[in-house]
Structure 1
Amino acid sequence: MLPSLFITLSVFSIALLEAKHLPSYIVPCKKSDPNLNTCAKQHAIDATARILHGDRSYKIPSFTPFSIPLIDVKGTTGITFQLKDLKLYGLNTTQIKDVNFDLPNNHMYVKVFIPQTQTISQYLMDGKLLSLVIKGEGPAEIISDNVTVEYFIDYVLINKPDGKRYVDVDALKTNLTLNFSKTHYNFGNLFGGNKLLGDNFNNLLNENPKEVDEISGGTNKVIISSIVSSIFNPIFKAVPFDDIFID
């Protein structure tokens, strides 16, 4: 399960912003630059570490760790799965691998890699998973290795009363692919605290990762969407598009 990250995906786009009060660590690229994507990638790499610590002027939270109060996912098998007080660690190791802007078609693409992410939270699980009736509530740890996230964004520009164009955050269309080499689950206090049954179920999860894709995939999408919103929305709402991508 990976939070990913996108984590950084989102983070990187800030490196292309240009505004009156733009922080000095963010350097814009020009639309006319024939090597726009190369420029964007390098500037994103340069700014990522600083941005991950948050920026109050843009209402961007800290990502070291990244916190989410509640994630609620319901599977088609009827299982209820919640993660509360979630903290995601590892985003500080994010590596930007590829950046592509198709400005004429209002499209962005970013690819990032994270060596390892760790999610610490409280969980609630009730229902049927892996053909077993499961019920538990307690601490959870989820570790994912070699996480790769590819993020695709299509945007719409709108004119605001100030006469400038902005990205319409309510019309953003996003898609992502998420891959990782291995995920380790550890849910405590399963089956009323029965350690033997709990250990056996955790082992079953870790030996059959594809069987829990429905829940873990849904959870990952919620985490990534939260990260994207935390970065893009405040910036797109406040900064004109033609200041983000300068002439």
Structure 2
Amino acid sequence: MFNTTTVLSILENGGKRPSYLKPCSLSDPNFEQCCLEHGREAIPHLLNGDKKYNIPKLVPLIVPYVTVDAGENLKVYLKNIKAYGLDKIDLQQLYGFELYVFPVDGKYQYDADYTLKKIDGEQHMSISDNDQLTFDLRKAEFHLDNLFNGDKVLGPQMNAFLNENWKDVINEIGGAISHTVESLVRAIATGVFDKISYADLFTE
């Protein structure tokens, strides 16, 4: 199994790694702590994006669209979503992390399997599509624009309703948000792994 924090530690071992990702030795008895410290140091650089590795600028995180079909009671199509708060990420442990985002307070964990594929004769990691984002929220806030064709009365009333009932809203749309973020993480990981071979990511 592997997750977002593992991406940071894995890249640190590769000879082609970006300069802002410092290496950690697999034989280091404090390997996990090393990865945490260096991962925390790398986050500001990663959030600024890196075109070489197809990492987009993540502050704010732009989500093109989210489609929710929760039956007759709720059908929602959201586009051009701007998610704020990634600059407040705090990695907590090697196989998980806690962050503030969307702007949502909570604990998030991303897990995924990988396989190996050949690119130009070299083995590269490939994220499987059974990845999963799980989260436990403490609070969520919503602000949706252009509701009811920009109605200045109904729009604020709907936003107030959503924020008063944020737990019910998250229960309805949480799955769709998770799948969208999973796709984004998978795309970013693919951009990195397609450029760095398995041998460069893992050293003896």
The answer to whether TM tops 0.5 is yes
- In structure 1, what is the Cα distance between the partners aligned to 2:64 and 2:165? 28
Higher strand proportion: 1
- In structure 2, what is the Cα distance between the partners aligned to 1:205 and 1:156? 41
* Partner SS, residue 194 of structure 2: helix
Given the alignment, which residue of 10, 29, 35 partners 1:16? 10
Letter of the 2:4 partner, please give it.
S
1:44 and 2:34 aligned: no
1:81 and 2:80 aligned: no
Deviations 1:51-104 (A, max 9, x none): 1101111111111112132222222336331221222221111111111xxxxx
Look up the match of 1:123: none
* Partner SS, residue 28 of structure 1: coil
Summarize the alignment of residues 65-144 of structure 1 with structure 2, pairs less than 5 Å apart. Answer: 65-77=60-72, 79-99=74-94, 109-114=95-100, 117-118=101-102, 143-144=103-104
1:53 and 2:48 aligned: yes
Q: Which runs of 4+ in 1 moved over 6 A?
A: none
The RMSD of aligned alpha carbons is 2.7
CA drift at 1:220: 2.3
Deviations 1:97-131 (A, max 9, x none): 111xxxxxxxxx322222xx34xxxxxxxxxxxxx
- Name the CA shift for 1:200/1:70 in 2 (closer, same or farther; >3 Å): closer
Normalised by the length of structure 2, the TM-score is 0.82
Whether the aligned pair in 2 keeps the contact of 1:167 and 1:237 (CA below 8 Å) is yes
- Name the CA shift for 1:32/1:151 in 2 (closer, same or farther; >3 Å): same
Whether the aligned pair in 2 keeps the contact of 1:16 and 1:44 (CA below 8 Å) is no
Letter of the 2:140 partner, please give it.
T
Whether the aligned pair in 1 keeps the contact of 2:16 and 2:200 (CA below 8 Å) is no
Whether the aligned pair in 1 keeps the contact of 2:132 and 2:182 (CA below 8 Å) is no
**Unaligned segments of structure 2, at least 5 residues:** none
Number of aligned residue pairs: give it.
201
Normalised by the length of structure 1, the TM-score is 0.69
1:154 and 2:125 aligned: no
- In structure 2, what is the Cα distance between the partners aligned to 1:177 and 1:68? 18
- Name the CA shift for 1:71/1:26 in 2 (closer, same or farther; >3 Å): same
